Structure 1
Amino acid sequence: MYIFVDENTASAAELLTLGLKTYLNNVTVVGRDTFDKGVGQVVFEDKRNRIIVYVVNHYWNVKQNNIMNAHIKPDIYVKGNKLDDFMRAVK
C-alpha cells in the first residue's frame, strides 16, 4: 500500500497515515514531509441562547504523541508536484 503525502497533508490525513504505517507492514509513505498540524478548532454556536463555544483539540497519534511539529517523513522522497512524479517513485 502506498500513501502519497506532501506539505499540504495535515490533521486527520496525518493521523490516518501514521496509524496505517504503525500497524500494517505493507505501507510505504511516498512524497515529502507533511504539514504537522497537531491542533484543530471547532466553533459551536447557539444563536437563540447567544452562546458560542470555541473548542481546541489536539491530535495524538496511535503511540500517544502529539503530532504538532512532528512531520511524517516519507519512505520515498519525491521532488515534483505532478501525479506522474509520485507514480514514477512507486513503479
Structure 2
Amino acid sequence: MAQSNIKPSKQGNWWLVFAVLVLTLTPLLFVRGDYEGADGLGEEMITEIQPDYEPWFESIFEPPSGEIESLLFVSQAALGAGFLGYVIGLYKGRHESK
C-alpha cells in the first residue's frame, strides 16, 4: 500500500473544540435556575402524587455529603470513559496493524 505525503488539516479539530465550548457554556450563561439532579425532583413528585408511598428498598450506601456523592458520580463517569477509550483504541490499533 502506498503512503501519501498529504497531511490532514488540524483546523477541523479546532472547530470541534470550539463547538464543545459553545455547547457547554451557552446553557451556563443564558439559562437561569438551579442545576440539580433529577433524583430529588422525582422524589418530590412521587410524594406529591401519592403521599403514603413506601419505597421498595433503601440505599445500600448513603454518602455523607453531596460533594462525596458528586465525586463518586464523576469517578464512575471517568472510569467508564477510560474503559471505552481503551476498547476503542484497542480495536483501532488492531485494525491498523492488519
The structure richer in strand per residue is 1
| TM-score, with length taken from structure 1 | 0.21
Specify the structure having the higher radius of gyration (Cα). 2
